[in-house]
Amino acid sequence: MKLFYSPGASSLSSHIALREAGLAAELVRVNLETKTLPASGQSYLAIHPMGKVPALMLDDGAVLTEGLAVLAYLADLAPASQLAPAAGTIERYRLLEALSFVATELHKGFAPMFDAEVPASFKQRLLRDARAFERVDALVRPGPYVLGAHFTVADAYLYPILRLGSHAGLDFSRWPAIEAYMTRVSRRPAVRAAVHAEGLIEG
């Protein structure tokens, strides 16, 4: 397999899941500005027409795009890792619920923070809207992870998005449970390995 990623982007979620699952894959860096593969100079658009990350190329050449699809695939490929509850259980649907929340309320919500054309006043309003983070606080407060005892792909997705929020200027000191959760997840060996492999500095 090949995982196409960009350092610090949301593809870090798939990278973390890959390592948590103990699966082998070649990491292929993508330049999101030029939509090229720096190592070869080839166009990335031939792999992902939208030019976004992640993309996962399977051994047969098939390509999966969209982070949620990649996370689900990796979890199901390594069931012993317990990255996803068994299909058909209420816990599996709780996982989908959490993934959907992170994708729609957090991930999309942070997008304007990294757009130079978005007015600073609008960005500040986004940071002051605490409703989504009150929900995150409720999810992680019981601990240790989103679904309880086991680290799942919901955590693999939530953690990098919270990192993006922190880098965008969001102060999590109002939510000690979120700060504790981020520290706890950051110390997992697979998470540390993914962060270091992408050349990121862990705060």
Domain boundaries, the chain: 2-81, 90-188
Bigger pLDDT: 102 or 123? 102
pLDDT range class, residue 25, cuts 50, 70, 90: very high
Quick check: 73 pLDDT over 80?
A: yes
The yes-or-no answer to whether 2-81 and 90-188 have a common fold is no
Bigger pLDDT: 19 or 109? 19
d(CA 61, CA 72): 18
Quick check: 127 pLDDT over 70?
A: no
| Structure confidence at residue 124 (pLDDT) | 67
Q: Report the pLDDT averaged over residues 116-121.
A: 70
Out of 78-82, 91-95, 170-174, pick the least confident: 170-174
| Structure confidence at residue 91 (pLDDT) | 98
Using DSSP's 3-state secondary structure scheme, residue 193 falls into helix
Q: At what angle do helices 90-101 and 131-140 cross, to 10 degrees?
A: 150
Quick check: 122 pLDDT over 60?
A: yes
In the chain, pLDDT over 90 holds for what percent of residues?
77
What is the separation, in whole angstroms, between the first and last Cα of the chain? Answer: 30
**Single-letter residue type at 160:** P
Q: Which CATH superfamily is domain 2-81 in?
A: Glutaredoxin (3.40.30.10)
| Structure confidence at residue 77 (pLDDT) | 98
Phi, psi of 31 (to 5 degrees): -90, 110
| Structure confidence at residue 203 (pLDDT) | 47
Quick check: 202 pLDDT over 60?
A: no
Strand 2-5, strand 55-57: pairing: antiparallel
Q: Report the pLDDT averaged over residues 122-126.
A: 67
d(CA 185, CA 137): 15
Give the CA distances from residue 48 to residues 34, 66, 142, in Å, rounded to whole numbers and listed in that order: 13, 10, 38
Largest Cα span, the chain: 48
β-sheet bridge partners, residue 2: 26, 57
- Given a contact cutoff of 8 angstroms between Cβ atoms, the answer to whether 193 and 19 are in contact is yes
Quick check: 40 pLDDT over 50?
A: yes
| Structure confidence at residue 16 (pLDDT) | 99
| Structure confidence at residue 131 (pLDDT) | 84
Domain 90-188 has CATH 3.20.20.70: no
Quick check: 90 pLDDT over 90?
A: yes
| Structure confidence at residue 128 (pLDDT) | 66
